Structure 1
Amino acid sequence: MLDPQQLFARLDSLGIAHRTVEHAPVFTVEEAKALRGDLPGHHIKNLFLRNKKEEMWLVVALEDRTVDLKRLGEVLGAGRLSFGSPERLQRHLGVAPGSVTPLALANDLAGTVRVALDRGLLEGGPVNAHPLVNSMTTALSGADLLRFLAATGHEPRWLEFPL
């Protein structure tokens, strides 16, 4: 599993521009809003989910989106979704609760986690995500996030909100 410095090296090797700021650890969107100051761009929430077939999903949405898990499961064709356990999160993405991020897909070498992205991420400024820990925030363009996902072998499904 990568650490933040290894992740930054991976982004550099892909030619992906990124900017990182350090801050106190945050565990919720509300905490992040209170601590981020004037950090421009999209701020996200990341849901690590599973279904009864043991399929894993990482859903990345703009932070203020309301996500109805029942409807989300229907839209994705995944059936009933629930949150993955901290152990499952660590095993598949190599991060702890509060540090869930699309950048953790670099740790999913087997490609078992499916990813779904909010189409709203493509509009406007950079996407702000944790670089595997919740005490830092890394900004990269939406296009570069897609390049990163492609490099990890993850093809995103696109979500239109409201679901």
Structure 2
Amino acid sequence: MSQKKLVFDKLENSGIKYKQMDHPPVYTIEDMEELKITEHGEVCKNLFLRDAKGKRHFLVVLGKDKQADIKSIQAQLGCSRLSFASEERLQKYLQLQKGAVTPLGVINDTEAAVEIVLDSSLEGKEQLGFHPNDNTATIWISYGDLIKFIRMNGNNICHIEI
């Protein structure tokens, strides 16, 4: 079963409403802007980070226009030095490829090891855009439904100011 179908099945079986937009593969926010995908709602950036010892992994979700200050994120999380995790770690923990990183990847995190870090400015948004584990589509769901999806998998959620 494809990664995309896994996400759609989970959303439907959980009663989570979503809108789907198929498009050519996109790898950056700029690619999404060129295709006018960003005009439909708040597209999110997703950063997969790890602590200095590689014991903790974080998926940081923020609005497309925000800049992530890694030192500020580290201080708010109270962890050791953060850096971007390797593609190997991304595959191991979320079974995702670079360019398709999304909080919906928790569906593949069977041990709920990845901590989800949400920018508090996303709270209450009705149209958040994420890839459904595949960068050839964007789905639109509400912030509340995103929280529901993550909690169903058992991953920890933390809110910070970015």
**TMscore range, shorter length:** over 0.9
Shift of 1:112: 1.0
> 2-side partners of 1:113 and 1:130: how far apart?
18
C-alpha root-mean-square deviation of aligned residues, in Å? 1.5
Aligned to 2:73: 72
Distance 1:31 1:64, change over 3 A: same
Distance 1:80 1:139, change over 3 A: same
Q: Among all aligned residue pairs of Structure 1 and Structure 2, give the percentage whose two residues are the same amino acid.
A: 36
Contact 1:40 1:125 in 2 (8 A): no
Shift of 1:149: 0.8
**Aligned partner of residue 97 in structure 1, secondary structure:** coil
Residue segments in structure 2 that go unaligned for 5+ positions in a row = none
Q: How many residues align?
A: 161
Shift of 1:2: 6.0
Q: Does 1:44 align with 2:44?
A: yes
How do 1:58-97 residues align onto structure 2 when only pairs under 5 Å count? 58-97=59-98
| TM-score w.r.t. length of structure 1 | 0.93
Distance 1:39 1:83, change over 3 A: same
| TM-score w.r.t. length of structure 2 | 0.93
Shift of 1:70: 1.6
Q: Residue type matched to 2:58 in 1?
A: W
**Aligned partner of residue 148 in structure 1, secondary structure:** helix
> 2-side partners of 1:35 and 1:79: how far apart?
38
Aligned to 1:56: 57
Residue segments in structure 1 that go unaligned for 5+ positions in a row = none
**Aligned partner of residue 71 in structure 2, secondary structure:** helix
**Aligned partner of residue 40 in structure 2, secondary structure:** coil
